C-alpha cells in the first residue's frame, strides 16, 4: 500500500485556482480518514450503551488510524464498485484489522450514516479554511475602501460612464458582498449535523438508546445534533451548496471589476504581482483576479446539481445521494480556491488615481449633465433638450453658448466639479466599514 503524499484531484491546476492549500482537506485520502473517524466514533459511542467495551473502542481507533494512513484510495474505490459506496468494503476491512468483535464495528449504522457524517466533517474543515480566506479578502477590501474613501472616480452602469462616485464606495460594495458571504457560510457550517438513522432511518438497531446514541455521536465528531435522521431530507446539503454559491458570487463581483479596470485602456488598477505572457513581453495580466473568476464560474453549475439532487425518494435515494459526494467535494475546493485568489488580488491591489482622474474627466463634464439641466431649467424651458444635444454631440457643457448664455463660468465650474456630486458615497463607505469592524 502506498504511503506517499495524499492524492487529490487537480494538482496541476490547484495552485493556479488557489486550491493547493485546501485540496488535501477534501482529497480521496481525506475522505477515507473522515469515514474511519466516523466509524471510530460509532464504536466509542457504543460503549455508553453497552454495545462495545473501552478496549473495543481503542482497538477500532488503532485499526482505523492505520487504514487511514496506509490504505490506497484507488484500491478502496475498486472494492467500492460492487456495493456502490466505499463504506461497505471499508467496514469489512476495519473488522478484519481491529482486535475487536465484529459487532463492535459500525454499530447500528447504515452506509449513508457514515458517508453523510464524513461529508459533514470534510465540509466543516474545508469550510473553516474558506471562512479564513473570506476574512482575509474582506479585510483587504476594507483597507482599500478606507484608503480611498473619498477618492473620486466615475461610476459605470451598463458599461457606460454614469455619475461620479468614489473608489471607496466601489470597494465597499465588494466588502459588503464578502461579509454577507462569510455570514451565510458560517451559518451553514455551524448547522452541519451528524447523520445517524440506521437502515431505514428509525434507529431500530440501537433502540431504545437511539436518540442518546445519535447525540453522543454528534458531540464526539463536533457536529450539530440532528433533529431526526435526514437521509432523504437534504437541507444540510442544499444549505451548504447555496452558501458556497453565495460566496462564489461575492468573489465574482470584485474579480470582474478588477479585470475590467486593469484593462490597458482603463488602467485604474493593477495587481501587486501581475502575470506575463509566453509570447508578449509587455503583458501585465491580473492573474489572481482572473483565476478567482475562473474557479468561481464553475460553482453555479455544481450548486444547481446539488439542488437538483434534493428529491430523495422514500427512505434512501437511488442515485441522487450518490451524485452529491463529488459535487460537494468539488464545490468546497473551487469556492475556497476562488476566495483565496481574490484575497491575494485585493491584498496587493494598486489603485491608480491619475487614471481615475483621467477617466472621470473623459466626457468633459457630460457625466454631470443632470446637475446642469437642473440649474439651466431655472432660466429656460427646454434645458434638458439643449444639454442632451450638447452631451451627445461632444461639446463641452461649459463651452456651449446655449448654456453659457444663462450660466456663468464660475457657476458651471461648480456644477461640473465631480467632487461636489458624490452624494452619500463616503457615508456608505463608513457604514460598510462599521459593519465589518463590528464583526471582529
- By annotation, the residues acting in catalysis are 277, 316
255 backbone dihedrals φ, ψ, rounded to 5°: -60, -40
* C-alpha distances out from residue 208 to 49, 53, 322, Å: 10, 19, 30
Q: How far apart are the first and last CA of the chain?
A: 46
- Determine which helix (DSSP H) or strand (DSSP E) holds 166, and give its type and residue range: strand 160-166
Please choose, from the candidates 333, 332, 311, the residue with its C-alpha nearest in 3D space to the C-alpha of residue 323.
311
**Contacting residues for 98 by C-beta, under 8 A, at least 6 apart:** 56, 59, 60, 62, 63, 64, 104, 105
Please choose, from the candidates 161, 179, 149, 153, the residue with its C-alpha nearest in 3D space to the C-alpha of residue 253.
179
Please choose, from the candidates 32, 223, 214, the residue with its C-alpha nearest in 3D space to the C-alpha of residue 127.
223
Contact predicate 181/250, CB 8 Å: yes
* C-alpha distances out from residue 51 to 116, 147, 174, 208, 432, Å: 23, 62, 54, 12, 55
Residue 145 to residue 139: CA distance in whole angstroms: 10
305 burial (CB, 10 Å; 0-12 / 13-18 / 19+) is middle
For residue 224, list its beta bridge partners: 193
Report CA dihedral (113, 118, 119, 123) to the nearest 10 degrees.
Answer: 140
Residue 152 to residue 58: CA distance in whole angstroms: 65
410 backbone dihedrals φ, ψ, rounded to 5°: -65, -40
- Determine which helix (DSSP H) or strand (DSSP E) holds 154, and give its type and residue range: strand 152-157
Amino acid at each position: 500500500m502506498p504511503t506517499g503524499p495524499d492524492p487529490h484531484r487537480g494538482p496541476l491546476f490547484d495552485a493556479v485556482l488557489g486550491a493547493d492549500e485546501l485540496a488535501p482537506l477534501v482529497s480521496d485520502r481525506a475522505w477515507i480518514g473522515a469515514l474511519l473517524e466516523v466509524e471510530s466514533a460509532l464504536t466509542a459511542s457504543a460503549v455508553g450503551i453497552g454495545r462495545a467495551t473501552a478496549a473495543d473502542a481503542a482497538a477500532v481507533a488503532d485499526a482505523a488510524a492505520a487504514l487511514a494512513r496506509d490504505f490506497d484510495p484507488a484500491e478502496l474505490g475498486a472494492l467500492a464498485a460492487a456495493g456502490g459506496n466505499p463504506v461497505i468494503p471499508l467496514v469489512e476491512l476495519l473488522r478484519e484489522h481491529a482486535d475487536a468483535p465484529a459487532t463492535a464495528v459500525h454499530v447500528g449504522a447504515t452506509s449513508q450514516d457514515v458517508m453523510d457524517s464524513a461529508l459533514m466533517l470534510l465540509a466543516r474543515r474545508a469550510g473553516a479554511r474558506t471562512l479564513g480566506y473570506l476574512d482575509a479578502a474582506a479585510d483587504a477590501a476594507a483597507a482599500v475602501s478606507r484608503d480611498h474613501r473619498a477618492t473620486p472616480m466615475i461610476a459605470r452602469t451598463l458599461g457606460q460612464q454614469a455619475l461620479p462616485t468614489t473608489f471607496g464606495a466601489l470597494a465597499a460594495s465588494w466588502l459588503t458582498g464578502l461579509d454577507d458571504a462569510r455570514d451565510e457560510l458560517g451559518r451553514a457550517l455551524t448547522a452541519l449535523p451528524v447523520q445517524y438513522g440506521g437502515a431505514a432511518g428509525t434507529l431500530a438497531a440501537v433502540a431504545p438508546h437511539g436518540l442518546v446514541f445519535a447525540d453522543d455521536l454528534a458531540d464526539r465528531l463536533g457536529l450539530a445534533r440532528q433533529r431526526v435522521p435526514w437521509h432523504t431530507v437534504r437541507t444540510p446539503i442544499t444549505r451548504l451548496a447555496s452558501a458556497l454559491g453565495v460566496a462564489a458570487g461575492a468573489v465574482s463581483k470584485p474579480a470582474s471589476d478588477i479585470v475590467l479596470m486593469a484593462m490597458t485602456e482603463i488602467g485604474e488598477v493593477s495587481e501587486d504581482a501581475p502575470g506575463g505572457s509566453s509570447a508578449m513581453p509587455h503583458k501585465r495580466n491580473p492573474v489572481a483576479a482572473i483565476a478567482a473568476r475562473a474557479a468561481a464560474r464553475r460553482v453555479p453549475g455544481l450548486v444547481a446539481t446539488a439542488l437538483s439532487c434534493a428529491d430523495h425518494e422514500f427512505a434512501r435515494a437511488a442515485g441522487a445521494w450518490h451524485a452529491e459526494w463529488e459535487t460537494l467535494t468539488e464545490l468546497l475546493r473551487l469556492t475556497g480556491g476562488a476566495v483565496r485568489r481574490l484575497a491575494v488580488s485585493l491584498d496587493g491591489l494598486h489603485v491608480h488615481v491619475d487614471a481615475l482622474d483621467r477617466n472621470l474627466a473623459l466626457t468633459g463634464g457630460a457625466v454631470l449633465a443632470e446637475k446642469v439641466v437642473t440649474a439651466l431649467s431655472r432660466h429656460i424651458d427646454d434645458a434638458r433638450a439643449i444639454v442632451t444635444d450638447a452631451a451627445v454631440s461632444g461639446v463641452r457643457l461649459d463651452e456651449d453658448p446655449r448654456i453659457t448664455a444663462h450660466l456663468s463660468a464660475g457657476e458651471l465650474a461648480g456644477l461640473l466639479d465631480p467632487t461636489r456630486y458624490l452624494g452619500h458615497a463616503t457615508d456608505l463607505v463608513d457604514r460598510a466599514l462599521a459593519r465589518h469592524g463590528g464583526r471582529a
